[in-house]
Structure formats: structure tokens, C-alpha cells
Amino acid sequence: MNNNSFSWSFETGLIEISKETIPISGLPTEFDGYRLTHLSDFHLGTWLDIQAVVQIIEITNSLDSDLIAITGDFVSSKIERHAPDLIQALTGLKAVDGIVAVLGNHDHYTDAGQIREILRQSGVVELDNKVRTICRGESSLYIAGIDDQMTGHDNLNNVITALPEEEVPVVLLAHEPDFADTSSKSRVFALQLSGHTHGGQIRLPVLGPLYLPRLGRKYPSGKYKIGDMILYTNRGLGTSWFKVRYNCPPEIAVFELKSA
């Protein structure tokens, strides 16, 4: 990505594409090699502008995804100002099985109703305590989403009751990564994808991240194994009000699902 498009230095414009192979027990052979791309925390208008987001969309589309998942915090504030840009950006995303998303805490702080309308206009499927079924012939992969935990909108029971009673492969989207301590105990989910932390934004040698938000302090960045479930915390694309990253570049994560 061309750094000249970005107004802040350090690592805000140096996007890293992280690639992980994820073994999933019970994954049908039809989904072996399924490619899931994970985006999080645009925070459009805080640091990212529409020109930067368009470049991110181009990079994402070049990854030939079967599915694109977004784990919230589309904006930080003033959704009215950024709504047209956000619709333009999200409409540009392309994947075989479409785009799914959950909301984050900042989406609720701003205006969850307007964010939901933007997602609807953009063709993005919001998984607010719901499940989407992806089919390949007679086989299925289940993509579930929890609405934001920090603002009290999560309902794990709704998700679990929407799933088949038998063991099936399920990927969970949850904005806050520390929700994994709850979701893993259900022994329903093979993989949880989260964001929220920005990886800490500033990570000092030895000391690590200078600051992590509530519900993002236990699993701040990267891959973790929690019980039988894998958690991946994405460092996100935008920034908080402090518009600098150090030793913590923004990230697009790509997962190849494999039959275990």
C-alpha cells in the first residue's frame, strides 16, 4: 500500500496480511480449503479516510475470499458524516459467499440503527445473535455472530439454539476477544474471530502494549487455543483517537479452513 495516501506515520499505513491454517473437527470435505478473510475496526473518520479504505477494499478483493467477516467498530462517531463513504466501501467488497458482520461497542455508542441500515444498503449480512448457514451441496458450515458484549447486547443462547443439536462446524464472530472465555465453555465453536484491541496500537519491547481496552486485555493479538476452540484477535485497520501505531501494524487476516 502506498504510504503517501496516509496522513499519519509510524505504522498506520503498513498493512500486514496474516495467513493462518485452521483445522476444524467435523469440517466437511467440501469446505476443506475454505478461505475466510477477516477485517475489523475500520473506525472510519478517526484516522482512515475513504481513499485509504478503498485501497483496503482492493487488497481484500485480491485475496479471492469465499467469505469476508467484519467484527465491528465501523466508525468512532458522527455516522452521518461518514455514511456515504462507508456504503461505498462495503459495497465494493466481493466474496463468493458474501460479507457478514457484527457490531462493536463504538457502533452502539454512535448509532447502531444507522450502522445496521448502512450494512443493509451495502449488502452486508449482520449476525446480531444469529447464524448464517453456508452450503456446499448437502454439507454446511455455520457462521454465527454475537452482538456487542461491552454494551450488553450479546445473547449466546439465541445463537446456540439456532444451531443443529448435533456437533457441527461453527465459526463465531464476536467483537471483544475476551468473550472467548464464555464462548469456549459452550464447546460449540471451533473458531472465534474478534477485534476491539487494535493489538494495543503501541507495543514496546519487553513491556508489550501500553493500553488495552476492557474485554480485550486477556487475548490482545493473534492466535490462542482456549479449550477446544481457537481464538484469533485481529489488530484491526484503523486507530483509536490516538492516531499512531508502533510495532503493531494494521492487519487483514486470512484463514484457510482444513478438515481435522
pTM: 0.94
SS3 label, residue 158: helix
- CATH number of the CATH domain containing 67: 3.60.21.10
Grid coordinates given for 83: 455514511
Residue that has been written with the C-alpha cell 482444513 in this structure: 258
For the chain, the domain total comes to 1
Which tens digits make up the pLDDT trace of 34-86?
Answer: 999 999 999 988 878 888 888 999 999 999 999 999 999 999 888 888 899 89
DSSP conformation class of 168: -
Q: Are 141 and 169 in contact (CB under 8 A)?
A: yes
Q: Cβ of 246: how many Cβ atoms within 10 Å?
A: 15
Quick one: pLDDT at residue 9? 38
Which tens digits make up the pLDDT trace of 182-221?
Answer: 999 999 999 999 999 999 999 999 889 989 999 999 999 9
Residue 116 structural domain: 3-259
Quick one: pLDDT at residue 118? 97
For residue 27, is pLDDT > 80? Answer: yes
For residue 8, is pLDDT > 80? Answer: no
Which tens digits make up the pLDDT trace of 224-259?
Answer: 999 999 999 999 999 987 788 899 999 999 999 999
